[in-house]
Amino acid sequence: MKIEGLLSEKYIELNLELATKAQVIETMLSIAGSHPGVKNHNKLREDVLKREREMSTGIGKQIALPHAKTDAVSDPVLALATLKNRINFESIDNEPVRVIFLLATPEEMLAEHLKLLGRITRLAGRENVRKKLTAAVASSEVLELFKEEEKDFPQI
């Protein structure tokens, strides 16, 4: 499982104009909402918000990664967005965010969930990748970026 294989243009939104953390999370849930792996939208929302209340998913380096292990999905679901302006996400480094990933995996896929979180963190944590993500004007550019960056990565 690679990021590039989980993402599709339908679940990528670029240069969104949002102002609050709550707006970002709701928008990410909306973007992912049409994914065929989502079985229960309300439960997915509840589980993502529950995880966010436990600890901010602002992981630093201008990245937020709201996520959940949940029975609301039948398959891994991944969405990505970039923001026109940085917003406060209560990140661990106190920096505002501009790149957001939403990840939801079935509860029984714990190992894959953790590996995907790690891969997203490693790749998006690279300054050159973040710059390309925030500069992208088309979803196809984002997919091509991950395809290129993951070409030497093993499958999860």
The amino acid present at 110, given as its one-letter code, is: L
Residue 44: half-sphere exposure toward Cβ, Cα within 13 Å:
29
Catalytic position from the list 35, 41, 67, 113: 67
Sign of CA dihedral 72, 14, 81, 22: negative
Catalytic-residue membership of 67: yes
Quick one: 9 exposed, middle or buried, by C-beta within 10 A (0-12, 13-18, 19+)? Answer: exposed
**What amino acid positions are annotated as catalytic residues?**
67
